[in-house]
Structure 1
């Protein structure tokens, strides 16, 4: 028993040392795990901060782009207003100068220039009505109030077709040439106005979602408009060919005899008679445009109609703004 006591103490000391070593190793492992967890958390926090910084930078750039875009639109609007005011002052003085600079007409008795003045007034009133419509849509006006505003814009479109019809009786060439429009608008003109089928294509994507019945109605309207446009275009081509043949056969000839003069005058009278159909072509094209707008209005809901009218107005405003920018930078390009 005396011999076993030291062995027992030694065993106890060994066990104690092993426990201490185990505790120290456990502490090292715990500290290492804690350090690893801390580093992982730091990396996660850095990623979050980096992502937030990227988001803030992207939002800042987006705000700058939006601000620049708004400033560009405002600048275009101001330039357009200035050009319209200058043109209005020129009309008030009774003089109109064409783009080529080789024509000047008196204001008195000229139906085309009278139309220019009326069209400027129409544009001004149209801009006011579109502003009211946009406010009604943005303020979520009731369907009843919104319908009143939409009907007002539709009635105002009817007014421009009446003005064009009266002006065509005075100068059909002026109306067909589109000289009352801006250069960019004239690039897309067809028989004195817009193509109904092309306008419907632009609107469909902006009116979604459409019901299946509405989509079928819009597609049918687009197809019928395209067919009518093709028929009118073919008629205009045939008229131009006939006029060219008539004018070519009505030459005075080198002798200039009385017989040749009589033949020439007869051919010119025939050409004048054929030109009378130009007004009819323009009237049919405007009727197609007017009917397309009205049928579109019947197919869509009142809020969809409001969105469609806003989209149409924005499209033509962008064309006018594009023309203003082009003319303003023309001197720099040359």
Structure 2
């Protein structure tokens, strides 16, 4: 019995049957996985499912292990998160870490208050003026260099042609006319700024007129009146920038229209004339207001007369200096240069007269605002703006009139 059983066992051990791989089983011999198709940090769901039995005892055990391997691979694939899910998880964690958003974040940015907007507008305006001043300064340097080169060329030409009379050289009519017709860079910048100032002034006056006609309350109307005064102060600052470099441009009034130049007084309007204009637009007046307006008109006229007399005295002194006996002997170069130096010193005081006249105009406008009520002052400023607007319109009509040959 033992002998019959051992023979098949020994033959089986010596010649084990080679199992044939099942058809379409998908089984592959284990290989070294150098490039894994799955993330290495993901652990399998069950450890037992990843173990593959390599015992070749029976084909049935292999077939039973293959479905378990496929199930494990499917579970492992299902549990691997995609890139979008990982990013979403990270964002959720960061959101939980930062905490819930506040109500202001959901509402969006708040609109700045009017005070902040006004301050930002003033900063932008100051930056723009700074850029203009820098540009004007560079242009002035370049213009001065060109003028100096031109004068040197004219001097050499005059010397070569022998155009000398005594101690002074005659540069010719062409050089003089070129110096007269060309304005300085500061004057050109002032003309551009004045044109922009007129546009802003027209807009402010339209708003002030609409506010007066709309019967706004005093506190709301005061804002428009303050803006009007600040705009007049800006004009004074613009003129002070060009006075030091080119005072004759302001005194001549070439930046104004022809009709306005007829009433020009020291580079501007007469304050006493404005008081006469507004008297018909501020009634009714209280007794205290009448006294204040009369006193302002009298003091303004006295200041105007004092400045006018001082300017006339300057003109007379300058004329006497130029028409002195030294001109009869041009060969005396020392007397000639001394005479020109004296005339230059007297002429430099013209800037002071124009500044005093601008200060008088500015003080008169502010004094009117102090004496009158806000609504009365608003009507006065509208009347002043309308007066100058009609002068400019008259100039336009005059310039466009038909001319006879």
Range into which the TM-score falls when normalised by the shorter chain:
0.5 to 0.7
Please give the per-residue CA displacement for 1:102-155, whole angstroms capped at 9, x wherever unaligned.
95437xx62111110010011011111111111111111111111001100100
Give yes or no for contact 1:250–1:267 (8 Å, CA) kept in 2. no
Identify the residue that residue 297 of structure 1 maps to in structure 2: 369
- 1 CA distance for matches of 2:325 and 2:254? 30
State the alpha-carbon separation in 2 of the partners of residues 253 and 291 from structure 1.
Answer: 47
- Partners in 1 of 2:328 and 2:310 — Cα distance? 31
Q: Which of 297, 302, 310 lines up with 2:382 in the alignment?
A: 310
- Pair 224,266 (structure 1): closer, same or farther in 2 beyond 3 Å: same
User: How far is 1:166 from its partner?
Assistant: 1.0
- Which residue in the other structure is 2:213 paired with? 138
SS in 2 for 1:170: coil
Contact 1:110 1:170 in 2 (8 A): no
> Structure 1 residues 104 and 268, CA, compared in 2 at 3 Å: closer, same or farther?
closer
Which residue of the other structure, out of 223, 228, 232, is the alignment partner of 1:157? Answer: 232
Structure number with greater CO (CA < 8 Å, separation at least 6) is 1
State the shift of 1:230 in Å: 0.2
Structure 1 position 217 matched with structure 2 position 275: no
CA–CA separation in structure 1 for the residues paired with 2:321 and 2:387? 40
1:167 maps to what in 2?
242
Worse-superposed segment, 314-323 or 210-219: 210-219
CA distance in 2, matches of 1:212, 1:283: 33
Deviation at 1:283, TM superposition (A): 0.2
Alignment partner of 2:281: what SS?
coil
1:278 equivalent in structure 2: 350
Q: Work out the number of aligned pairs and report it.
A: 230
* Partners of 1:191 and 1:282 within 8 A in 2: yes
> Which residues in structure 2 correspond to 1:89-128 (within 5 Å)?
104-105=181-182, 110-128=185-203
Distance 1:215 1:158, change over 3 A: same
Deviation at residue 251 of structure 1 after TM alignment: 3.9
The TM-score, its normalising length taken from structure 1, stands at: 0.66
Correspondence for 1:180: 255
CA distance in 2, matches of 1:170, 1:115: 11
SS at match of 1:293: helix
**Bigger Cα Rg:** 2
Q: Distance in 2 between matches of 1:231 and 1:153?
A: 29
C-alpha RMSD over aligned residues: 1.9
Cα deviation per residue 1:1-58 (whole Å; 9 max; x = unaligned)?
xxxxxxxxxxxxxxxxxxxxxxxxxxxxxxxxxxxxxxxxxxxxxxxxxxxxxxxxxx
Is the CA contact 1:207–1:304 (under 8 Å) kept in the aligned structure 2? Answer: yes
Report the counterpart of residue 332 of structure 1 in structure 2. Answer: 403
Structure 1 stretches of 4+ with a deviation exceeding 4 A read 100-104
CA contact (8 A) 1:247 1:271 kept: yes
TM-score (norm 2): 0.55
1:253, distance to aligned residue in structure 2 (A): 3.0
The runs of 5 or more residues in structure 1 that have no matched partner are 1-93, 95-99
Secondary structure, aligned partner of 1:205 = helix
In structure 1, how many angstroms separate the alpha carbons of the residues matched to 2:233 and 2:214? 27
> Are the structure 2 counterparts of residues 101 and 313 from structure 1 closer, same or farther at C-alpha, using a change threshold of 3 Å?
farther
Q: Secondary structure at the match of 1:149?
A: helix
Distance of 2:320 and 2:364 partners within structure 1? 35
> Higher mean Cα deviation, 110-119 or 223-232?
110-119
What is the match of residue 208 of structure 1?
A: 283
Q: CA deviation at 1:303?
A: 0.3
Instruction: Answer 1 or 2: which has greater helix percent.
Output: 1
